[in-house]
Chains A and B, each alone.
Chain A
């Protein structure tokens, strides 16, 4: 296909799940998957992944570092259904059962460049005290039937959740042919995108 008349645009995502901030838990690992609309298709890269288990250290008592790389390229014809990344974090409870420690989702940034996102995480709550107790006892906390639930808004009204912690992700986004298809993903004021790096540069020179 001639590059002058593209029929699809590409979105390339590089980045990593840097780490999380879960003050109460330790020895956590995380999973990710992508959720996207009908008009999107991954062309290369991994759609799902599972990271190593990370423990806290004395040096950073609050921070868990995974540094788990993400690399995927999507092609699409329609910005509707823009991909979201769903991250779920698991770890052992007091009895050593693997239980879920957080679900979270965020849209992939749509402007090219580097982005850092911090996703707040949550888990579904037990429906009653008794349930909570038994789930604690049996090591089966309530889970979403599918982690992808957190990327959709439908049906949320029936659940109750409890916030847990934060996960930080970095993305490096490259797009191709978006403009040619008439979608302008860059912010209207170019100075906005440039300001964070220049500021940091300025800080550095001053020092």
Chain B
């Protein structure tokens, strides 16, 4: 017997509860007691029946028992077992021993009639009826604090002040009625009468003040004064009021006249209005008397006023008079009167009191203001009129009704009422609204019914009454309403929102809108025993939720009332800082201050001030914050400032001194340092450009590219892969090793000492050799200056023999004041192959890219000759030999650090900058020396040095600015230029290609615009009228004399700015491109065929040269040095030619090689040179940016002479400064000789002049050994000149009897271009 649904207890085993909960202990116990394990065992008969009773079967006894409902025996057993457990369980059993049961209630057949929905209509009695759920009365009673309130809305009626059905007469009469209403209300207020009384009040001290004597102002005086002022203002007020009254009356009379006229015109009258003017009897005499009195009083008042003014002026006059008298006395005392210094006696100009004029004015005004005594009052009298048909019928058809909306829900509506002919509707209905929730709005809607459909005419918001407002005590309010519906009629009705006219001709048109007044009253009802059925006043009416919304708080009408709103705000404890309430608080604040003005500005962050820790001024004043701010702005002085002190007091003003000085000097020009005011101005100008460019950079620096952040291997091309494979077969140690690319290091985590400059000095060619002691056939055989005079034969001719024609050159590299040198090598073609390591430290420890780019230091590579001089020591008797090592400067190479940094490595042979004259040395080649090289070398002249310079570790050079500059070029041209450069870069990445450049104002300009023939200075052309070759050289020299200033150092970035030639000549400073452009333009104007070469050269890197075609021979000009080279010159510094630029096209080199020696320079061949403008894209006719003509200032000899003086003085001082230990003696004689010699050098263009000079010197200074040389440099500033002099090391001569000679010559060229010569010599008396 396994029943799945056990009866009384479904829990078979309470002990095996899967979740025994110790906390639920007591419950568990209880659970125990009531659980019962069921049994399905059949219960014995005896247990069910009372003891020893036999079961009785009623059925057998003939009684009806009915049929028991069917129950399964097992269930029955369970129930029986269960019931027997209970006390008195037996009473559940019947006499027959079974459980008591009613007969089965289920009927055999259905008792309801069957439904036949398909065939016929449903019996109406069987319809389902829906009853809405209704809250029982008890539930309402127990609703708690919300309670039940009663709101009585009394809609008494409405009056239209304008209705579409108004006739013209109605309009006028409505206006008349309005005016009359106003008049009545004014009469009720009676303001003018009140004011009149006030004015007529007794004047307590009106006449007490004496007009004659000025008294010290007492308290009573003060009061009187105040009183008078008050009276005056009151009178003004009263006059205004009276005026208004009269104006009102006048309008009423005019209106009435109009009405009458209209009635005349239309011959009927629609309205019952009539204006009656009733004359009121008044005592004329009394009125007049009062009037007279008033006038009199006012006159007196005015008199007093002017008297007062008089006294005041009199006092002032007296004072002035006193003053004048004193002044006069003084004048007399001094006995003279200055002409024009007379002071006028102050004049008395004012009206004496009691003037008739005052009276007259007063009377005039009085007449104007007040009415004639004898007032007129009016009363309207209604008279019946006859009807006017068409309109009247329409009126009669109209019905109105009012709906009451409570909380925007319609609760009830009035009966329909007809619109009366007087446009008044009386409803007179009171609605008792039983409400349970607080009212938020009560609205009455006026509906108009024409025929059947009611249409909404207007709505009126009724203010929710305060709890104290109870029915019976409140007067009826009149609420205005209006509607902007447009209604047009064909009959007499004027309509609404439709212009109409009163006059026949249609002039003076007016437009009126339907409007009117609704008389209604809303109040709280009274319950039994007069208890108010209003919500308790303490309860915040809208409940806590609606606190922020003033609308339910005081109803709609309260919104306009600022006072009430203020009260409400105070009551509801509005949070003034809640942004939601800002508008309200603002309004209240303004309202309290008296006038309502909306703020005229809009603020985004209204609460900003509250979150400021300190005021702006405090922040401004704080030095520490200033320091922090300047640092974050990356101002150059503070860009890497470390450890800003934590306390204000630790920041001294000294920190800012330099910065402030720079700011101050921004506008001031210091001419002292520059020796030349023009250059100082230019320097300032450059500084400004630099700053603006730097600012652009600072912005651009924060734009990153992927390659700045992530290092990623490029996808190797087939070529590279092949090369890599090829590399595997390479010998491990090749005989001629190639330099490999090293891994680049970002310049971020570097410190001082990490970077070293590696200079590998390899070899030199054609070092000047010492001049032989005697030259056969030379004219100066006997006077050879370097030779020891015959008086000193002890020096020995063997020394000379060993030295002459020989040289022991060594190279000294100085960088950032670190000086290293190689060991000396022998001969004029020495080979050192030595590596020098120079430490590098960036300024301020700033190793960022911009910091490194701004390093202006220059690597000086100086070539010296080491001369051993043996000094016989007489004291020792010739037994010991002292050798003094002297070094003689032979030349130098200067390489700016910025070049090294941007190029990463510099590898090549440089022409050594040798002086034009090197005393004691000759540049003649020694014969028989390596004859094989002669053919190559003969093509050029000068000394050459092969070096390799790089940095360890290799630094990543700064990127070009990726900023897109704006341009005035056509978009098409820009796109083409971009494409051209991109294609060039793809096919020949090592060849520079430039098509558009940035001009000095930061705009992209197409490059050909810079090329235009420009006239060179006429002076230069006139110098050699017969020799065009010399003139060309002179022009090139002129261009090279303009000082060079690399853009990268000045603009701290690889940003090339191109300036036009006139800008260049004004600034007198520029990069190679400017030099090249200028030179090219000069050549073009001289009738040559010239191009601009964009290419790479050593040591400049990417640069610009000039190419000219002279007699079927190409010449390459270095614009910054003025030298020219043949196309096939081995020592031409130009290494690669990228493109050629002329005035109308750009050609890119697409030949196999880039070196000028191996390419064809004929741009006509399209398969060698790819043109930018071709037939498919012709030259659009770009105008040049260059001026049509250059204007030159003539050379200024006087200024040059002055500069020469100053420079000589400065250099002499410096030289003495550099020799702190030894005395510095000047050989005046030699100096003057040198000075005469320098101009000749300039004339010869820096080339070695004839030997004349040498001979002259030798003749003059026979007994001296001179070593010296002239330095030549373009003039920009004094500092480079000083540096150059220092780098020659002449000052380091240590012999005790050394003398110096120093001559300076400044040669002026047009436009303030100056050529500076410094002749420096040290003399040793040979005796």
Contacts and interface: CB of A to CB of B under 8 A. Distances in A.
Q: Do A and B come from one complex?
A: yes
A111 B661 CA distance: 43
B711 interface: yes
Given A77-B646, A78-B646, A155-B704, A148 B712 contact: no
A154 B702 contact: yes
B712 A38 contact: no
B747 to A, nearest CB: 10
Interface stretch (A50-58, A87-95, A137-145, A186-194): A137-145
B706 A144 contact: no
Given A127-B712, A135-B713, A181 B646 contact: yes
Nearest to B703: A155
Contact of A158 (B631, B644, B705, B715): B705
B716 interface: yes
Contact of B709 (A41, A131, A159): A159
Interface residues of B, number: 26
B706 A77 contact: no
A146 B715 contact: no
A39 B713 CA distance: 36
A8 interface: yes
B646 A8 contact: yes
A8 B710 CA distance: 37
A9 interface: yes
A7 B749 CA distance: 27
Contact of A145 (B642, B645, B746): B746
Interface in B674-715: 702, 704-706, 708-713, 715
Interface in B636-657: 640-647, 650
Contacts of A145: 708-711, 746
A37 B712 CA distance: 28
A124 interface: yes
Contacts of A76: 643, 646
Given A7-B650, A38-B640, A134-B715, A149 B709 contact: yes
Contact of A7 (B631, B647, B706, B748): B647
B639 to A, nearest CB: 9
B706 A41 contact: no
A38 B631 contact: yes
Interface in A4-55: 7-9, 38-41
Contacts of A77: 643-646
A159 B712 CA distance: 12
Given A38-B642, A41-B642, A146-B749, A155 B708 contact: yes
Contacts, number: 87
B217 to A, nearest CB: 59
B644 A38 contact: yes
Contacts of A149: 709
A206 B556 CA distance: 66
Contacts of A170: none
Interface residues of A, number: 34
B715 A130 contact: yes
Contacts of B641: 38
A76 B644 CA distance: 9
Contacts of B716: 134, 138
A76 to B, nearest CB: 8
A135 B647 CA distance: 52
Interface string A94-136: 0000000000000000000000000000001011001100110
Contacts of B646: 7-9, 76-78, 181
Contacts of A155: 702, 704, 708-709
A127 B643 contact: no
Nearest to A125: B710
A40 B644 CA distance: 9
A124 B702 CA distance: 20
Nearest to A142: B712
Given A146-B748, A159-B710, A39 B715 contact: no
Contacts of A148: 748-749
A159 B706 contact: yes
A54 B599 CA distance: 69
A156 B706 CA distance: 9
Interface string A143-176: 1111011000011111100000000000000000
A93 B647 CA distance: 52
A138 B713 contact: yes
A144 B748 CA distance: 13
Given A39-B643, A146-B746, A140 B710 contact: no
A136 to B, nearest CB: 11
Interface string B701-738: 01011101111110110000000000000000000000
A154 B748 CA distance: 15
A131 B706 contact: no
Contact of B715 (A78, A131, A154): A131
Nearest to A79: B646
A148 B631 CA distance: 21
A76 B200 CA distance: 84
Interface in B454-489: none
Nearest to A143: B711
A8 B715 CA distance: 51
A40 B642 CA distance: 8
B19 to A, nearest CB: 22
A149 B646 CA distance: 27
A142 B711 contact: yes
A134 B712 CA distance: 10
B626 to A, nearest CB: 14
B643 A38 contact: yes
Contacts of B748: 146, 148
A152 to B, nearest CB: 10
Interface string B857-889: 000000000000000000000000000000000
Contact of B710 (A9, A124, A134, A138): A124
A158 B643 contact: no
A126 B642 contact: no
B710 A143 contact: yes
Contacts of A154: 702, 704
A80 B712 CA distance: 33
A167 B922 CA distance: 73
A144 B746 CA distance: 11
Contacts of A144: 709-711
A144 B706 CA distance: 10
A135 B712 contact: yes
A159 B645 CA distance: 36
B710 A142 contact: yes
B746 to A, nearest CB: 5
Contacts of B711: 142-145
A39 B711 CA distance: 30
A140 B714 CA distance: 10
Contacts of B715: 130-131, 134
Contacts of B712: 124, 126-127, 131, 135, 140, 142-143
Contacts of B710: 124, 142-145, 159
- Determine which residue in B709, B711, B715 has the highest number of CB atoms from chain A within 10 A of its CB, and name it: B709
Given A145-B708, A155-B704, A158-B704, A7 B645 contact: yes
A142 B705 CA distance: 14
Contacts of A8: 643, 646
A78 B705 CA distance: 31
A38 to B, nearest CB: 5
B644 A39 contact: yes
B409 to A, nearest CB: 51
Given A9-B646, A134-B715, 6 more contacts: A38-B631, A130-B715, A134-B713, A140-B713, A145-B746, A159-B709
14 contacts: A7-B647, A9-B646, A77-B646, A124-B712, A126-B712, A130-B715, A134-B716, A138-B716, A144-B710, A146-B746, A149-B709, A155-B702, A155-B709, A158-B706
Q: Nearest 8 A-B pairs (CB), nearest first?
A: A155-B704, A77-B646, A142-B712, A140-B713, A124-B710, A158-B706, A142-B710, A143-B711
Interface of A: 7-9, 38-41, 76-78, 80, 124, 126-127, 130-131, 134-135, 138, 140, 142-146, 148-149, 154-159, 181
